[in-house]
């Protein structure tokens, strides 16, 4: 898969988008449709909201596919834009599965690898019939984080 990085700026802030990292949570365009509109080309309009609103919305991206940098900071550093890397995020859900957002590779006991690039839910209760993935059994068995 080709590593693509796109930049969109309003002069103050540059939005960096890595489409291969996107988990399509839709948080961006539900939260700020004036900037993020998947029905338009290009789908990011950096002029569609204030810099403050853009920064706030981009910070909510769970996969790290959307990031930003302030153009004044880049100018102060000699004009070199920062190298943006995407991270995976791990979030235990209360009384439920372990959610992993982002690009991961799951390797089973036989060595077979499965590539996941959206949200992956792993079993924490031990009762799933689809281990290591969650199948919702935690609800049926009243799994609790509390001892």
- Domains belonging to the chain, first-starting first, are 6-76 (3.30.70.20), 89-140 (3.40.5)
Provide the pLDDT for residue 109: 86
The pTM of the full predicted model, rounded to 2 decimals, is 0.58
DSSP state letter for 15: E
Closest CA relative to residue 96, chosen from 116, 119, 117: 119
User: Strands 113-116, 120-122: parallel, antiparallel or unpaired by DSSP?
Assistant: unpaired
Provide the pLDDT for residue 83: 64
Task: Provide the sign of the torsion angle of the four alpha carbons 100, 69, 49, 40, taken in this order.
Answer: negative
Per-residue pLDDT of the chain (147 residues; tens, 9 = 90+): 467 889 999 999 999 998 877 878 788 989 999 999 999 999 999 999 999 999 999 988 877 789 888 888 877 777 766 666 666 778 898 999 998 877 778 888 898 888 776 678 899 999 999 899 898 899 999 999 987
DSSP string, 34-75: TTB-TTSSSSB-TTSS-HHHHHHHHTT-SSSSEEEEEHHHHH
């Amino acid at each position: 898969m080709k590593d693509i990085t796109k930049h969109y700026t309003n002069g103050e802030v540059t939005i960096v988008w890595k489409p291969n990292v996107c988990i399509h949570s839709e948080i961006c365009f539900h939260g700020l449709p004036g900037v993020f509109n998947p029905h338009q080309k290009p789908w990011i309009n950096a002029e569609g909201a204030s810099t403050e609103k853009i920064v706030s919305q981009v910070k909510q991206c769970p996969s790290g596919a959307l990031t930003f940098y302030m153009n004044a900071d880049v100018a102060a550093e000699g004009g070199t834009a920062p190298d943006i890397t995407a991270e995976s995020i791990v979030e235990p859900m209360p009384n439920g599965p372990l959610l992993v957002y982002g690009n991961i590779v799951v390797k089973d006991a036989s060595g077979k690898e499965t590539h996941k690039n959206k949200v992956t839910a792993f079993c924490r209760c031990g009762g799933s019939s689809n281990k290591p993935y969650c199948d919702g059994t935690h609800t049926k068995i009243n799994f609790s984080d509390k001892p």
